[in-house]
Amino acid sequence: MEIKNVLVPVDFSPASRFAVDFAVLFARKFRARLTLLHVVESVTALTYTFPVEIDKAGKQRSDQALDRLSKMLSPEDQDDLDLQVRIRFGSTETEIRSAIDDESASIVVMGTHHHGLIRRLLAGSVTEDLLRTVPVPVLTVSSDAQSRTLSRVLFATDLTEPSRDGFWFALDLARTVGAHLMVLHVIEPIPLAYGSAISSIDTPEDKRLLMEQARKMLAEFESEGGRRGVVVVSDVAEGIASEQILEAAKNSAAELIVLTIHHKSLIERALLGTTAERVVRDTRLPVLSFPVHPKANRIGSNVQHRASLPDPSAMP
């Protein structure tokens, strides 16, 4: 894993200030450049009617934002950082995507907000919209984040072939920051929508085989951790993935959750959400979402792994 540039979109909310704190930690650990970005939203509807006034207002907002960005870190904090600040104009989501490419960002650190039930029923925030679409890892930090250290990392995996890339990322991260790594796999119940068609997979014998296969694969992860000088412990849980991840994070005193991000259709996301998005919304820990790309699944039988089933509530 190589992190050379940490990009932090800043809207000056409490959440983005916490995000900057965590980004500083990452930049120092990896000796990476730290880029603070603020997007000045354009007012397109008024631009054609009052172009001069809009231009002046935009320039004023840009100068103010640049000044605030420059003051987010004390001179002492900046001494050992390769810091740069950027101002862009336009749509926040669009400009963040462009900045990832233009700045060759290795990771994006973003603040996220918790506004209760009403917030969850509305359309996703910029942070959640970006989770499944940007090509680099996204670290989300809530405005009431509990920890600023990284001594214990929890990696949740569905044990599919693409998720192995996520494990290597989590392992390298743990080794770099000197953390212990816990690897969790959750076996979820088969949803009723599919239960009648594949009821045979939920027999006690099939469940036993599924558990044995999962533990065998997790043992490989533990062995690899030992070869790389990282303490890796693993566990298998049963239940709803997001709930089990949050419970494991609490019980293990984890300070960072790492998840792999798979592509899901718009309908799946709209109706059920995703494990990653549910965890991001419900935890007060920072969550690092690592994008993975589809590969041929090396598990040949759906008895060996439930991830081969078309389960819309499966782990990311």
Q: Can you tell me whether residue 301 is helix, strand or coil?
A: coil
Intrachain domains 5-142 and 152-308 with the same fold: yes
- CATH tag for 152-308 (out of 2.40.50.100, 2.40.160.20, 3.40.50.620, 3.40.1080.10): 3.40.50.620
CATH pick for 5-142 out of 3.30.70.3340, 3.20.20.70, 3.40.50.620, 3.40.50.1370: 3.40.50.620
* Dist. CA 294–CA 170, nearest whole Å: 18
- pLDDT tens by residue, the chain, 316 residues: 689 999 999 988 888 888 998 899 889 989 999 999 999 886 554 444 445 444 666 677 787 888 888 888 877 777 788 999 999 988 888 999 999 999 999 999 998 865 444 344 333 467 767 777 788 999 998 877 665 678 999 999 999 888 899 999 999 999 999 999 999 999 887 654 444 444 445 677 878 888 899 999 999 999 999 999 999 999 999 999 999 999 999 999 999 999 988 765 554 444 445 788 888 888 889 999 998 865 534 333 333 333 333 343 344 4
Contact 190, 308 (CB under 8 A): no
Local structure of 145: helix, strand or coil? coil
**pLDDT value of residue 17:** 86
pTM value > 0.85? no
In total, the chain counts a number of residues equal to 316
pLDDT of residue 225: 96
In the numeric block, the tokens 């949803």 are attached to: 191
Residue 135 structure tokens: 């090509």
The domain limits of the chain are 5-142, 152-308
